[in-house]
Structure 1
């Protein structure tokens, strides 16, 4: 009996020492990650807690081995990229990876990491970017994705990754300057003193010295989001009202805010749709509503072409074509004068109507012109999305969105002119980690 107790004690002692070693290892990595470099003038920080995410994935794999290793494993996902391991990337991947933006280009985000194995790193990046790197020598090499959304610039000591939503080449010059000199860089620990205490998710967006933030937390089968928005940036309404949405809508969105500052930053997008920003800006209000119903709408459109007749004279030909489109309705508060500026055809043909202070654009001409009654609401932001069992009028959607079964987001008035945002994204399989869903090519 004493021998059994002694053996059991040694087992527990060994397990305790292993657990202590693991805790100390991750604590050391966490401490080391606080010395990661960011620009001293960074206007925003995106914090990716890589160690925490890897631990979540490992635990999820233990609970769902068949989805990761067994018969249910998606063999289509066995690409070279997805077989990469975090300990063999050619860089020292810290416990937390910090991306930062610069005052000169707030839409782009950068991170700088030390190089461990240059040939391995260049091999990994060639695979990840799906392109050949431009390598002049070990101290000057670069690459990018085909759509220019992701750039990489490096030398034998450091590599700079840049995410570029605007997809322009202007991102390269500041990345090269970062490699040439690190005089303007400081440790992230210096800026983290200004990080909001509520921002505790797996991925966090925050601005140094400001209370606003966005947080994303991964759980089995869902992503939980939380955020705090400054009212000064969005100018939300003080008296929220809105329509009562039908429960069977695919998508219902309501926003009571002045979004003109945001639209002003996307003039090119509006211009591409035939909407001159300077002409429409004075007429816009602070109420926006979108409904996507699971109904098919038949639209008739006249196609005009030209051809030569038997006398070799150019003649006009008109052909009536029917097209099945989704039932979309956009309602927003604006002056009636705006109707004359709105084109009839955007990505679909929209019928224009007026209902009191609201302008209504709908793909369904049978939609009542009076609109729905606006009643008092508790939320200033409301989003609900749910996949129907049968799509009556499907539209092309990115693969990642097809994997989300339901999404609910709400924003309510907070203290001191702030808006509290919370929500969840539920995936089709409630047992798997969200990244397992998103990285799989299957729906």
Structure 2
């Protein structure tokens, strides 16, 4: 028995070593690739790491992958049977002189017969032959050029001329090894997806029930506070957000027609003093007066007021601002009723919103009277955003919300300043199903699509009619 266990253990160890060496070899081969010297953006998809992560999820939660979904990630790729070799890492790059939305890549042809069948296939991806070994989609956004060993492809929504670029990729003209380029930091990353250009360094990982994203980027819009602070928001809120930073955007210098809305770019930047927060706390009932017309017993047309009750979000928003100047501006524009504090419905038509200003801050709320905690606490983050999708779906009578977001549980994002003009954003998207891999769930959601049409009807009930 002991001998049998030793033999079994030795076999398992050898298998693990072989498994490790196999994937290590694939990584080395995948990283020993060339990209155009003019590359200015590079996307890396770590196929092997994705495969390993999803395979482990299959082993841990086999009941989550029923029917055809029991196939592994690699097998699903192989099932495409398009005749190309899927490397350990797929690299997709953008090029100088081309649109930012245009991307290129290349693959080794593993089976020329299967590849030719794919090129000539009319059902899955119709391609039109434009020239010898050069094909394009019907809308010219996808282009494919190939020789006996390699295929180069381009996706360009702008329908740019890319055949010459694809020919250079195939001939390895003006190419450089990734390890000798400015993108060498991507080589040893084990993240599932990574992206780098002159302004961004982004990483994404798909685990069971969660998508993690991290992005370091150069900020052109926000100047974070040097010592961020924020109010303590209600942890049970449906949606919560704070921002402690100034906008770099300058006020327009040219004179001309100015917007009356305080939410316009010009007026917002004029009043905003570096801090804002927002909370969707719950759902409340609001009563609106709707004016209509009816006919009395003498067949005379008379005005009729109807009190309409409806469920609306309990929303509060606070901004650090010159409250006196903002209040005077709204009053002079006829957008604020001084006696009630109500914002004009011509400015905010969906809900009754009330304005309150004091001590250098502005409060907008769907509650007529509310006192929010003004005290702030220190934080490493200058930005925070959270949405509870379960509460959002429950409190929002829009079918498009429930149809597209019902697989998610929560989204949380936060950002902090690393150095001058450089920001790190981290986000975590949680799924309701914590056992199945998030990428598999995401692909299944996109595959199923949405069947529910848009429905903008808010729940309401008419209570009282008053004739005048």
TM-score above 0.5: yes
Match of 1:392 in 2: 395
State the SS of the aligned residue for 1:257.
Answer: strand
- 1:204 is matched with which residue? 194
The residue matched to 2:195 in structure 1 has which SS? strand
Mean Cα displacement is larger for which, 231-240 or 373-382? 231-240
Bigger Rg, structure 1 or 2: 2
After TM superposition, the structure 1 = structure 2 runs for residues 217-366 of structure 1, keeping only pairs within 5 Å, are 217-230=205-218, 234-259=222-247, 285-295=273-283, 298=286, 325-333=312-320, 344=346, 348=350, 351=353, 353=355, 355-356=357-358, 357-358=360-361, 364=366, 366=368
Task: Call closer, same or farther: CA 1:301–1:30 in 2, change over 3 Å.
Answer: farther
User: What does the per-residue CA deviation read over 1:205-249, in whole Å, with 9 as the maximum and x for residues that have no partner?
Assistant: 3335x7x63322222222233343456763211132322211221
CA distance in 2, matches of 1:421, 1:197: 22
Distance 1:82 1:93 in 2: 9
Who is 2:434 aligned against? 430
Who is 1:404 aligned against? 408
User: 1-side partners of 2:32 and 2:434: how far apart?
Assistant: 37
SS in 1 for 2:237: coil
Tell me what 1:178 maps to: 165
CA contact (8 A) 1:352 1:359 kept: no
Please state whether the residue corresponding to 2:224 is helix, strand or coil.
coil
CA displacement at 1:399 relative to structure 2? 5.3
Aligned partners of 2:14, 2:134: CA distance in 1, in Å?
45
Map of 2:377 onto structure 1: 376
Indicate conservation of the 8 Å contact 1:294/1:391, yes or no.
no
Aligned length: 399
Q: 2:107 aligns with which of 109, 114, 120?
A: 114
The reply on whether 1:91 has 2:84 as its aligned counterpart is yes
Deviates more, 1:94-103 or 1:331-340: 331-340
Quote the offset at 1:47 in angstroms. 2.2
Give the TM-score of the pair, scaled to structure 2.
0.66
Distance 1:279 1:412, change over 3 A: closer
Following superposition, the deviation at residue 433 of structure 1 comes to: 1.2
| TM-score calculated relative to the size of structure 1 | 0.70
Partner of 1:100: 93
Give the aligned partner of residue 312 of structure 1.
none
Matched, 1:66 2:63: yes
- Of 111, 126, 130, the residue aligned with 1:136 is 130
For 1:91-123, what per-residue CA distance to the aligned partner results, in whole angstroms no more than 9, with x for missing partners? 332212223334556752523122634345448
1:28 alignment partner, SS class: helix
Could you tell me how far apart the structure 2 residues matched to 1:125 and 1:398 are? 35
Shift of 1:202: 1.8
Residue 373 of structure 1 aligns to a residue in which SS?
coil
Gaps of 5+ in 2: 253-258, 293-304, 336-343, 451-468
Contact 2:35 2:175 in 1 (8 A): yes
Q: Is the 8 A contact 1:299 1:325 kept in 2?
A: no
> Matched residue of 1:59: which SS?
helix
Q: How far is 1:381 from its partner?
A: 1.4
Q: Is the contact between residue 400 and residue 438 of structure 1 (CA under 8 Å) also seen in structure 2?
A: no
Q: Report if the CA contact (8 A) 2:314-2:367 is conserved.
A: no
Superposition deviation, residue 57 in structure 1: 0.8
Partner SS state of residue 48, structure 2: helix
Q: Alignment RMSD, CA only?
A: 4.8
Q: For the Cα contact (< 8 Å) 2:229–2:378, is it kept in 1?
A: yes
